[in-house]
Amino acid sequence: MSALGVVGLALNLCAYDFVSQEIHVVEDPEFETFYTKNILLNEGIRAWMDAQISLMETLYSLRRFYPMEMIFNGTLALAGRDQETTGFAWWAGNARLINLFEADV
């Protein structure tokens, strides 16, 4: 019985704290509760992630049209280029992964 009493007391205190915060919000519009802080934090994180995602989508779409020079074996020979130094081997292996985003277009 004492465990139920402790749980009941905890629930009453949480309810009292919530109600007191709501009363304080009515009296003072500038008062921030954990709920409003969480909303503001989520909106900020969501806006930051949208900017990061759009940047990565731009970079990955440009990578399809402007192939990167890949250095294999630590050397980049300017004369007599083969597939490894032009980046074609990297593109050929990863083209399927890059074009997954274009499937629904």
**C-alpha dihedral, 84 to 90 to 96 to 99, nearest 10°:** -120
Give the pLDDT of the chain (105 residues) as one tens digit per residue. 577 777 776 766 666 666 676 666 667 766 666 666 777 788 888 888 888 878 777 766 665 655 555 555 555 554 555 545 555 555 555 555 555 555 554
Take residue 46 and report the two structure tokens written for it.
């969501």
Nearest residue to 34 via CA among 45, 48, 20: 20
Residue ranges of domains in the chain: 1-31, 32-66, 68-105
Question: What is the tens place of the pLDDT at every residue in 16-46?
Answer: 666 676 666 667 766 666 666 777 788 888 8
